[in-house]
Chain A
């Protein structure tokens, strides 16, 4: 397993380099210009100077290599220096700078990340915690009222887009009932119990919307996987041993059913970091999804590049995590 993991990690390097090239090339095709949002009174030669100062007059392969250097050498060194306090000579290093804000992209991401992790991460965990019992019970009592209701609700939850359900819960809970705020206050700081309650309250609506989607998706997987296993011969063997239904279902069937579900859950984690773009917009959560949309609209190519690439890294990483978990859960899979 260890050799497999190491091999896969090494394999990830060329994969990610290739992905970074693709991202770079595609974004280079975008017709956006960093000077486009500047006043029209700026003469063309000054514009050209601005472009040159951003390095845009270089040929594309040079720009790619410079970007690689910035992203893979300068930024990690900077982070290391920041975390450890060692002096690694940060003065001359150029960083990936956002065209919109002129501050380093990595710093912006570090600011935005907590919002996304709080809201989207919580919804993911809540969604999974609700989904698993629903899926298990629905399958165990297939075609019961509970199963029918559950299947219907999850179908609705899966089909209704968050821009609709988000607005719906705002109308119900924020406007009509006035229980929760409709806008997520990013500047709110949790220092004591009352401020924590406020944080909880402002999280509830976005978490509700996202958790509905996640629950729908994962409970359906769980249900299907349980159904696949409930009719297997080994379940009959377990019953023939005189084990209680709880042990039969929660030990024998569940362990087998979790194998594909864990994979789905692991593969879904990058989406948590990616933020729920639409939900963040609806509730004005100042997270990564929000950042990405803003950067795309403002033609802020370095930010888009960096975010996209970080998502790619997470996807590659969690693919590996899923494979490793698969190997741990299923003794028939051996990678060595």
Chain B
């Protein structure tokens, strides 16, 4: 799936999103570029506030505007630029060609409508199904995501489902119209660990069965390791490293990625050893970044990092990193 010959289903170039606030613009997404190939699972990691969700919501106009504003870039999907598309064109893409699963299944479903209605909504809207056909398809979808006794449960309300089951319902809604791309925004974060594992298994199964491409946003590297093909590491509204998952774990190049990997508790290590933390806070992105966003927390930072924001430099076939420091030589990168 990583052979580069396959065409991208989604191609994002230089995406810039700002939030207008009283204290000026917050640059939440800065010149983010990436692509997504058919059928692959792209992991996006980073700590809270790194711009992961905002990036994905920007693609498809799901950010409340104002305050959010997409200032530039291009998002090519099925031959059209989503950033210049009209609202109507975007609505035809949302829920039909691109599905979404959000973080908190407790609040992401409307409490006053039954689950059947909510699953049937995109079916009726995008596929033009009548009530009977939509209901039948909704039942199939619930069965597909592993909800037992699907037909009866269509008439139940969200509060009658457990957290894991609600997330399955969300996945069923996202998959309703057979989307080409599924964006999953921390879909397992609000679930406990055993349910999380079930949902991960389900997603892997569904991806293989239905062949859609998936963007999986998370801050959990363990989840990424188990599920992703390729990984984007985000920090301060930028992509700081991009690599296939094995490569990233075996050979991280960015000091932030390296630090992140060190924060993961090891099952084999000495119990007495304290977990590493990355000191400091993620930056407030109120100014247009003209320096490396990670410099303040980086133990490798040198004077160039203060003056210039590194571009993404290729360090392997499909591995690039936005850093002036070269871990292989231990010195400055020759760029």
Contact in complex: B95, A240 (CB < 8 Å): yes
Measured between alpha carbons, how far is A239 from B173 in the docked complex, in Å? Answer: 12
Q: Across the interface, name the chain A residue whose C-beta is closest to B110.
A: A234
**B155-209 residues at the A interface, CB under 8 angstroms:** 157, 159, 170, 173-174
Contact in complex: A241, B170 (CB < 8 Å): no
For the complex formed, measure the closest distance between the CB of A129 and the CB atoms of chain B, giving whole angstroms. Answer: 23
Q: Which of B126, B157, B159 contacts A242 (CB 8 A)?
A: B126
With A241-B173, A331-B159, A332-B159 known as contacts, the answer to whether A234 contacts B92 (CB < 8 A) is no
A53 sits at the interface (CB 8 A): no
**B103-153 residues at the A interface, CB under 8 angstroms:** 104, 107-114, 121-122, 125-126
Contacts of B122 in A (CB 8 A): 241-242
For the complex formed, measure the closest distance between the CB of B32 and the CB atoms of chain A, giving whole angstroms. Answer: 20
Contact in complex: B112, A237 (CB < 8 Å): no
Contact in complex: B173, A234 (CB < 8 Å): no
Measured between alpha carbons, how far is A332 from B157 in the docked complex, in Å? Answer: 8
Contact in complex: A252, B157 (CB < 8 Å): no
A243 sits at the interface (CB 8 A): yes
What string of 1s and 0s marks CB contacts (under 8 Å) between A290-331 and chain B? 000000000000000000000000000000000000000111
B91 sits at the interface (CB 8 A): yes
For the complex formed, measure the closest distance between the CB of B227 and the CB atoms of chain A, giving whole angstroms. Answer: 21
Count A interface residues, CB 8 Å: 20
Contacts of B157 in A (CB 8 A): 331-332
For the complex formed, measure the closest distance between the CB of B89 and the CB atoms of chain A, giving whole angstroms. Answer: 10
With A237-B173, A256-B112 known as contacts, the answer to whether A243 contacts B95 (CB < 8 A) is yes
Contacts of B126 in A (CB 8 A): 242
Contact in complex: A243, B159 (CB < 8 Å): no
A236 sits at the interface (CB 8 A): yes
Q: Which of B91, B93, B102, B159 contacts A237 (CB 8 A)?
A: B102
Q: Which of A236, A242, A259 contacts B102 (CB 8 A)?
A: A236
Q: Which of B108, B114, B125 contacts A233 (CB 8 A)?
A: B108
With A234-B107, A332-B157 known as contacts, the answer to whether A242 contacts B112 (CB < 8 A) is no
Contacts of B107 in A (CB 8 A): 232-234
A255 sits at the interface (CB 8 A): yes
Contact in complex: B111, A239 (CB < 8 Å): no
Contact in complex: A252, B95 (CB < 8 Å): no
**B5-36 residues at the A interface, CB under 8 angstroms:** none
Question: Which residues does A use to contact B, with CB under 8 Å?
Answer: 232-234, 236-244, 252, 255-256, 259, 329-332
Apart from the given pairs A239-B62, A240-B174, A259-B112, 16 other A-B contacts in the complex at a CB distance below 8 Å: A233-B108, A234-B111, A237-B100, A237-B170, A239-B94, A240-B62, A241-B94, A241-B95, A241-B173, A242-B92, A242-B93, A242-B122, A243-B91, A244-B91, A331-B112, A331-B114
